[in-house]
């Protein structure tokens, strides 16, 4: 890695702006062909699908179910724990890491995006952007058509209601929903 690449990676790591051209040296880490192959496999080809997931993702736990199709910018920046269930049309915009804990369930049509763009149009040339990691802790359930934005952490055991746009961290053991997503109540023993 040369000095310029190291400087760009430093900016990316700090959530600062960078351009498509500056980050092009990372393109070999993209897994688009493998994702296409995964999405083309038969649902019953479990061994083949598992082998592909292990090649696509940064790490993948035991007993993982990821229904087709799914999409990812890289794939290699996604880390999934044990006992994960991802329903159809899950999209990972993983310019930086997305870390998903154990026992997480994600409904259809969810987007996890680590990347955003500047508000001012003069700053968006060459697809200038910023990226911040997403963390989804253990036992989280994310409802259909949720969008999780850059830098968000969703705490242990939380539930995110369908159609929400998660712009800020969600504390553990809460139900949150809305646009923007807000905590509406704690999860208690009464929910058993």
Cβ neighbors of 55 (< 8 A, separation 6 or more) are: 31, 34
Nearest-angstrom CA–CA distance, 72 and 85: 16
Tally DSSP H helices, then E strands, for the chain: 3, 19
Contact 166, 179 (CB under 8 A): no
Radius of gyration of the chain (CA): 17
CB atoms within 10 A of CB 7: 12
Cβ neighbors of 47 (< 8 A, separation 6 or more) are: none
Going by C-alpha positions, the residue among 178, 101, 113 that lies closest to residue 141 is 101
Question: Which of the residues are catalytic?
Answer: 117
Backbone angles phi, psi at 138, to 5 degrees: -55, 150
């Amino acid at each position: 890695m040369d000095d310029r690449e190291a400087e760009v990676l430093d900016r990316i790591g700090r959530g600062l702006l960078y351009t498509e051209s500056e980050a092009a040296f990372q393109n070999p880490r993209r897994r688009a062909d493998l994702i296409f192959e995964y999405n083309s496999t038969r649902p019953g080809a479990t061994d083949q699908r598992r082998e592909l997931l292990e090649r696509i993702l940064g790490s993948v736990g035991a007993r993982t179910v990821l229904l087709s199709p799914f999409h990812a910018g890289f794939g290699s920046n996604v880390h999934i724990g044990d006992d994960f269930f991802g329903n159809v049309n899950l999209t990972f915009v993983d310019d930086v890491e997305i870390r998903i804990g154990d026992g997480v369930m994600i409904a259809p049509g969810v987007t996890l995006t680590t990347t955003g763009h500047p508000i001012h149009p003069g700053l968006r040339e060459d697809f200038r952007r910023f990226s911040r990691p997403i963390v989804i802790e253990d036992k989280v359930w994310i409802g259909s058509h949720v969008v999780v934005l850059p830098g968000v952490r969703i705490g242990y055991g939380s539930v995110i209601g369908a159609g929400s746009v998660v712009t800020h961290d969600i504390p553990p053991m809460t139900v949150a929903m809305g646009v923007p997503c807000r905590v509406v109540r704690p999860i208690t023993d009464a929910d058993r």
